[in-house]
Structure 1
Amino acid sequence: MRKLIKTILGATKDENFMHAIENVEVIVSKVLSILMVLVIIVAIGDLAVFLIRELFDTPYGKFNKTLFQIFGLFLNILIALEILENITAYLRKHVFQVELVIVTSLIAVARKIIILDLEKVTGIDIIGLGIAILALSISYLIIRSNSGHAR
């Protein structure tokens, strides 16, 4: 760490400075990935506890109401996995992959729609979510068509 700080403070050439900045970016990315793994593990534990409680405490016929909460928790974990994928992709290639960011955003908006309580939202909220989905879908289509590979 001292060597890194010395390099940052003592960098007289642009190359040395840029190398030091890249080192800082890599360290921050590694710390973020470790913390994201921790978040995912905790979220899985939370999901497991919630599932066990709901399966044993919910009266017969009432499970459908908590099903949307369960889906939301699952999608939270998927979003966290996508964020971890974004971080690890950055560590591999040292560039942000816009496609991964858009896919993560689509999953987050889909989660919002799945857990949406229609009794508590206004029409403008639904229109906003629709516009967000449309914009993200168009962005994804543009990125995919420019990258030259299809799924």
Structure 2
Amino acid sequence: MEATAVVGATIDAAVHRFPFCIVWSPIPILTWFLPFIGHLGLADSKGVIFDFAGPYTIGRDDFAFGAPTRYLQCTVAPEDVAKWDEAVAAGCKIYEKRMHNLCCDNCHSHVAVCLEHADYAGRKRWNMVELCFWMFIRGKYVSVAGFVKSWLPFVFVLAVIAIVRSTA
């Protein structure tokens, strides 16, 4: 599901263009302790990222927690490009009228609804937990710096815990 079937859908991390991708970035403090939890967004066919950034707010080309550090490129057939873009727009239209809830109606839910509208991978139902772990297990890092930004705070927290425990 990661390889693209669309010609010209090239990822350009330098200008934050991720066509047909689910993108992820760490959320300060939360990701430091739970490294599989982060902020999720979805890009249209041109690579423009949309994310449910807060109550009644859809970010467009302004990812809420900084540039993506991980991505998953979805396979979209050339004849389904318009459907993909329509699905992203439909999900955004729904979520721009919703209150954000960290636990149950959040950026992951927004991406799930977009994928459902696209009938992505032949599935009618997606959920935030699946997306969380799918990104954690299958997501690719944008760069070495993206890897470091994702993991260094967690490693630091573990080191502090280890030091405190060893001196106690």
Q: TM-score, normalised by structure 2?
A: 0.23
* Structure 1 or 2: more strand by fraction: 2
Identify which of structures 1 and 2 has the higher relative contact order when contacts are C-alpha pairs closer than 8 Å and 6+ apart: 2
* Structure 1 or 2: more helix by fraction: 1
